[in-house]
Chains A and B, each alone.
Chain A
Amino acid sequence: MPTFETSAGTVAYDERGEGRPLVFLPAGAHDRHDFDELRAALPGGWRTIALDWPGHGESSAGRGRADAMAFADAAEELVEGVAPGGAVVVGNSVGGFAAARLALRRPELVAGLVLVDAGGFAARTPLLRGFCAAMSRPAFLRRIYPAFARRYMRARTAADRRALEAAVATTRAAPGLDAVAGLWGSFASPEHDLRRQAGSIAAPTLVVWGRHDPVIPVRVGRRAAATIPGADLVVLETGHVPQTGDPEGFAAALAPFADRAFEAAGRRAGA
């Protein structure tokens, strides 16, 4: 398993295939295997790279307190390291936040942006702030996570069930529990709110959302797609993790989008 040193800790990642790079960033409490079925469903011609966040999957505990901005920094450093010429970056939930933040900060690294039930685009209501505060406490998070994950996974596929089991396991004990609690502690912060900057995202963007996501409702995705210039929206009949709920449907939208994104990037580079 290759690893990569980031400011947030050492992250494990894997690479499959040859071709233009696609980077996959999972949700909090989740690991890179959430993208196994999607990666397998893509046609040839892609070099796919997926990471495990600090404290998740095969990565070791992170450096310092986990939060969404630190994870986004880690993702930025990884993409710069493994795909310095630019990649299509696919991020689910906090991974989507990290991908969008990367597109804003380092547009040259993001040939295309795929936001999947992404964080950073929901209104920071007092209700949400209260929930994030509760979820940032490890004892409560550990207790609630099995029911919470069942709710947002709406598991129908074998991949859903694997992801559900792994996410619950991540929140059973350190370091995963503390990492996920840290993430939740940052979800209501102003730095996590990308709504005002969304209109400045220049990368070609595909927004993929689960119609039945009970954590970040689909209309948040619709609004993000309406705000980001030229963004396309695909709604799948899944919960919060469309890549395990409908990998074929996701792949059918992702492959042509990524083709177009790299063609556009090539034209920009040639111009």
Chain B
Amino acid sequence: MSESHRWRSPLLGEPLLLDLPQGQMEAFRRGAGPPLVFAHGWLANANLWRGVVDRLADRFACIVLDLPLGAHRLPLDEGADLSAEGCGALIGAALDELGLEDVTLVGNDSGGAYSQIAVSRGAVPVARLVLTSCETPYDEFPPPPFDGLPAAARDPATLGRLLAALEDPAVRKLPAAFGLLVKHPLDPLASDAYALPCLHDPGVLRDTAKAMAGASTAAVRRAGAALIETWERPALLVWSREDPVFPVAHARRYAAALPAAELVEIEDSYSFVPEDQPQALAAAIAAFVGG
């Protein structure tokens, strides 16, 4: 059997193994300087950030999490809480374990939703928050056309049958799969690494089903409301102007509502901004953090 589903880009740097209350989780670290921690969303993994890390590792310590959201290699403990709140807590636990200070947390897609939940829970050493094409308090979590996933995910076997279609690279390009998330062709290695792990490892599928079944619009609304109310640290929203899944209008509204947020709109990208426009995203992050 091919190992392509386990591929991680060498651009991510050295692998780390984080011992968390929820189990063991992988992460990658490259570069030195002010710490940036990156959180991907469902059916993606650390690879999502490879092009961004490669452009920032000369000035920043880039730590990329490999969250248990469908494309990871190490299943968490069987009892791990992967509700929306639980995934927020997982990011918090990872930051704890990494022992970092003055962190800039960067989240994309559902990783952005979980980042907001993590920060709104407090008690994490996050100094700055970067959100890029993700759920806002005005979106559903998950947004259509993916809003059927939580119901399917209540039974891992059902979810497994649904995701089995992704075995075929042509299916992955359909609008029903990654077609409206990634605008430009995905590197086949990254594509395999996103689409196949759930089909190869029942533990990975179990984690994924828990996270998808546990998605909650209310949790993101609560987190967003708390951030708008109380989070006065800097926030940067980097949004694809033509994002079909997370409308830029919601990002504009959210940036205006947050106490200290700025919005950078970028062109020629869908929601997987780190895949479609790593250069523009890296430049926006560097300008925001001041590297």
The interface of chain A, by Cβ under 8 A from chain B, is 125-131, 133-135, 137, 140, 143-144, 146-148, 151, 214-215, 217, 219
Additional A-B contacts beyond A130-B152, A130-B176 (7; CB < 8 A): A125-B171, A126-B165, A130-B145, A144-B144, A147-B244, A151-B179, A151-B180
CB <8 Å contact, A140 and B144 = yes
B173 within 8 Å of A (CB atoms): yes
Contacting residue for A148 out of B147, B149, B170, B180, CB 8 A:
B180
Residue in A135, A151, A219 whose Cβ sees the most chain B Cβ within 10 Å = A151
Q: Are B244 and A144 in contact (CB under 8 A)?
A: yes
Contacts from B to A (Cβ < 8 Å): 144-149, 152, 158, 161-163, 165-166, 170-171, 173-177, 179-180, 242, 244-245, 247, 270
Q: Please, which residues of chain B bring their CB within 8 A of the CB of A126?
A: 152, 158, 161-162, 165
User: Does the CB pair B175–A151 fall under 8 Å?
Assistant: yes
**Complex Cα gap A134–B170 (Å):** 21
The answer on a CB contact under 8 Å between B173 and A214 is: yes
B174 neighbours in A (Cβ, 8 Å): 127-128, 131, 214-215, 217
Chain B residues near A144 (CB-CB < 8 A): 144-145, 175, 180, 244-245
**Residues in chain A near residue B147, CB distance under 8 A:** 134
Inside 8 A of A129's CB, which chain B residues have their CB? 148
Distance of A146 Cα from B270 Cα, bound (Å): 13
Nearest 8 CB-CB pairs, A to B?
A131-B176, A134-B145, A147-B244, A130-B148, A126-B162, A134-B144, A140-B144, A127-B165
CB-based A-B contact count at 8 angstroms: 73
Would you mind naming 16 contact pairs between A and B with Cβ atoms under 8 Å apart?
A125-B162, A126-B158, A126-B165, A127-B165, A127-B177, A130-B146, A130-B162, A133-B145, A134-B147, A134-B148, A144-B244, A147-B180, A147-B244, A148-B180, A151-B175, A215-B175
Looking at the assembled complex, report how far the CB atom of A26 sits from the nearest CB atom of chain B, in whole angstroms: 20
**Cβ-neighbour of B162 out of A127, A135, A137, A217 (below 8 A):** A127
- Set of chain B residues within 8 Å of A134, measured between Cβ atoms: 144-148
Given A140-B144, A140-B145, A217-B174, A147 and B165 contact (CB-CB distance below 8 Å): no
Q: Give the distance in Å from the alpha carbon of A125 to the alpha carbon of B164 in the complex.
A: 9
Bound CA span A135–B180, Å: 13
Query: Which B residues are CB-close (under 8 A) to A137?
Result: 144
With a CB–CB cut-off of 8 A, which chain A residues contact B145?
130-131, 133-135, 140, 144
Residues of B within 8 A of A143 (CB): 244, 247
> Across the interface, which residues of A come within 8 angstroms of B170, CB to CB?
217, 219
Whole-angstrom CA separation of A41 from B146 in the bound complex: 42
Chain B residue, CB-CB nearest to A133? B148
Q: A133-B148, A148-B180 are in contact. Are A214 and B165 (CB under 8 A)?
A: no
**What B residues does A128 contact at CB under 8 A?**
165, 174, 176
A43 to chain B, nearest CB (A): 36
Q: What's the Cα separation between A215 and B177 when bound, in Å? A: 11
Q: Closest residue to B170 on the A side, CB-wise?
A: A217
Contacts of B173 in A (CB 8 A): 214, 217
Min CB–CB distance A123 → chain B (angstroms): 8
Give A150's nearest chain B residue, CB to CB.
Answer: B242
Q: Across the interface, do A214 and B175 meet the contact criterion of CB distance under 8 Å?
A: yes
Q: How far is the CB of B99 from chain A (nearest CB, A)?
A: 41
A120 to B240, CA, bound (A): 34
Q: Tell which of A125, A135, A140, A148 touches B165, judged by Cβ atoms closer than 8 Å.
A: A125
How many whole Å from A167's CB to the nearest CB in chain B?
14
Nearest A residue (CB) for B143 = A140
Cβ-closest chain B residue relative to A212: B173
Q: A214 touching B148 by the CB < 8 A rule?
A: no
C-alpha spacing A147/B176, complex, angstroms = 13
In the complex the two chains form, what is the Cα distance from A98 to B158 in whole Å? 32
Contact assessment for A147 and B162 in the assembled complex, using a CB-CB cutoff below 8 Å: no
Nearest CB in chain A: distance from B264 CB, A: 20
Q: Which residues of A contact B270 (CB under 8 A)?
A: 147
In whole angstroms, what is the CA distance A215 to B179 when docked?
9
Closest approach, in angstroms, between the C-beta of A119 and any C-beta of chain B? 14
Contacts of A148 in B (CB 8 A): 175, 180, 244
**Distance (Å) between the CB of A193 and the closest chain B CB?**
16
Residues of B within 8 A of A215 (CB): 174-175
